[in-house]
Structure 1
Amino acid sequence: MDPKQIPLFARPAATLAVPTVIDAALRGGADLALSLSAGKDSQALVALLAPWFRAQGYTGRCYVVHADLGRAEWPQTAALVERMAEDAGMPLLVVRRPKGDLVARFEERLEATRESGAPFWPSSASRYCTSHLKAGPIDTALRNPAPFWPSSASRYCTSDLKRGPIDTALRSAEVVISAEGVRADESHARAKKPVVEIRTGITASSQKATRNLSAMTPEEALAARNPGQRVALNWRPLLHWNTEEIWQACGTSSAELTRRRLLYAAGQHEEALQGWPCHPAYVFGNERLSCAFCVLGSKNDLLNGAQHNPELYAHLIQLEIVGGATFKNGWSLTELPVTGEAARLRDAVLGQHKSAA
């Protein structure tokens, strides 16, 4: 290829997507909350938006908000979140579900499922034979007739442990923007999301159309808002960034990550992690960073979670057995090819239940 042609096809330098409505809201004094999970996307978000916000001279508050999932988190996450907020020079607000952490929520759902008395067989009121069996074989579907675990169709881990507590915090301002590190590259569903939209759950609603801000566009809602009415926006300034651009914003690269993963796999753990600016789970081999056991995570990520969090792994297996439902529909955590302490604890839990039976 002629070198002179390269600029014609080169990707433009990544820039923050800042719609006019976002700038207008911030110039009007809106609060800006930077959501931080400690994953690479949210780390890049905080690292980029904190200095940008200061440079614009906006008068509203800007702070980092982290939803703490408790025992379900990687043990390194809390300290990393504190460091990332401190590095950005932003105050940190940590929110939690008042009734308990994500593991407690699993347990609550398990008990609710057991106490509901839902019949095993389908009926006119519960036709799971129709709803569950058309897309797959009967034995797979019946393995979890009444699952208590979260799933892609029931992401209560997000609604109860993240969005709910964060919404409570965001209610402190009449105009507030929640900045999120969501990227189109992550999934087809995320690729369809807009850069900015109304956060309907805490935006003023009304039976009267002219006052129902939650049903309006962001521009319409801000223009129609009266004092005392809240407008909340979701903003995704990194929506069209690619993975390499994110790593660079975090102070590293995919090539550097690959080098460190090879070191870690070779047993050179200290060298692999020394000076690494991001979450260590990536060096362990994770592609995504969420809680230590994300129901939407790959088997590789779940295996890493089990190997590095063996006690939590054993507890979740216990819940699978007691609740009679596998972590994923048709697939159990016991099937992970774990070694070492994780394997020992798994076998101990399975042995206890075999003896009890």
Structure 2
Amino acid sequence: ELVREVDAADRVTVVHNDLGTTDSGLPVEWPGTADLAREQAAHYGFRFEITRREKGGLFQQLRTERLMFPSSPARWCTSDQKTSQGRKVVTRLVTELDLNRPAEVLYCLGLRADESPGRARKPVIEVDKAGTSGRRTIRRWLPIHDWAETEVWDRITASGVPYHPAYDQGMTRLSCSLCVLASRDDLVRAARLRPDLAAEYAALEVELGHQFQADRSMADIIAAAQAVPA
């Protein structure tokens, strides 16, 4: 959609915020996500940047710093692992431009209103006050905010760009393989597809004494996944 809306491809940078691995080396995100983001950016000739939190990925932050799983009211996973890291890229890009005036930055995200009540309330475009400074103005833009899911898939099909195979496995969202904000069905399906990762989260749940979701433990999710016929 950005290709259709923006005619300055050399000014577009795709940023993927990598969430790291567990202590045993399992990727927190769906395997191949970063490589796919790189491939998609290359398809359109966009610059590609990948970020990682210097103090550790999501699993390490959870285990040694936060000591409890994120939740809808406390989405530190997004703020610390994604938003903060993305702003660092913006800072670096603005420095590269070396303008004699404040830079104008359009920060584009693929959030849609249909995904949640919280996302439905988000404005299509707004100034990111926390990320704006004397050197730059950042505006957050949601170009497909009003799209239905069918429109998304129609656009993907028309574009010819590959998508992640987790969707073909039945996942309805692509974020962390085991996301605290995911539906029960997605979590059960993910636990079936990635049982080793689910087991590591279950062990961490016991270690921290904190449940994965307020109304659902990882142990419950694993039990439900094991009960589903192959």
5 Å-filtered alignment, 1:1-357, equals 48-54=1-7, 58=8, 61-71=11-21, 72-109=28-65, 113=67, 148-171=68-91, 172-173=93-94, 174-204=103-133, 229-251=135-157, 277-336=162-221, 337-339=224-226
SS in 1 for 2:151: helix
CA distances 1:115-151 after superposition (whole Å, capped 9, x unpaired): xxxxxxxxxxxxxxxxxxxxxxxxxxxxxxxxx1000
Residue in structure 2 matched with residue 39 of structure 1 by the alignment: none
Question: Is there any run of 5+ residues in structure 2 with no aligned partner, and where?
Answer: 22-27, 95-102
The Cα shift of 1:239 comes to 1.3
The Cα shift of 1:185 comes to 1.6
Answer 1 or 2: which has greater helix percent. Answer: 1
TM-score by length of 2: 0.84
Aligned equivalents of 1:297, 1:59: Cα separation in 2: 34
Aligned equivalents of 1:89, 1:251: Cα separation in 2: 19
Structure label with greater radius of gyration:
1
Percent identity over the alignment is 37
Deviates more, 1:295-304 or 1:181-190: 181-190
The letter of the residue matching 1:70 is: G
SS in 1 for 2:130: helix
Aligned equivalents of 1:288, 1:297: Cα separation in 2: 8
Deviates more, 1:300-309 or 1:151-160: 300-309
Q: How many pairs are equivalent? A: 209
SS in 1 for 2:172: coil
Q: Is the 8 A contact 1:178 1:233 kept in 2?
A: yes
The Cα shift of 1:251 comes to 0.7
TM-score by length of 1: 0.55
The Cα shift of 1:321 comes to 0.6
The Cα shift of 1:197 comes to 0.3
The Cα shift of 1:317 comes to 0.6
**How big is the alpha-carbon RMSD for the aligned residues of Structure 1 and Structure 2?**
2.1
Aligned equivalents of 1:330, 1:189: Cα separation in 2: 20
CA distances 1:211-236 after superposition (whole Å, capped 9, x unpaired): xxxxxxxxxxxxxxxxx532111011
The letter of the residue matching 1:242 is: A
Q: Is the 8 A contact 1:317 1:333 kept in 2?
A: yes
Question: Is there any run of 5+ residues in structure 1 with no aligned partner, and where?
Answer: 1-47, 114-147, 205-227, 253-274, 341-357
Aligned equivalents of 1:188, 1:96: Cα separation in 2: 29
Q: Is the 8 A contact 1:51 1:88 kept in 2?
A: no
Q: After the TM superposition, which segments of 4 or more aligned residues of structure 1 sit over 6 Å from their partners?
A: none
SS in 1 for 2:14: strand
SS in 2 for 1:328: coil
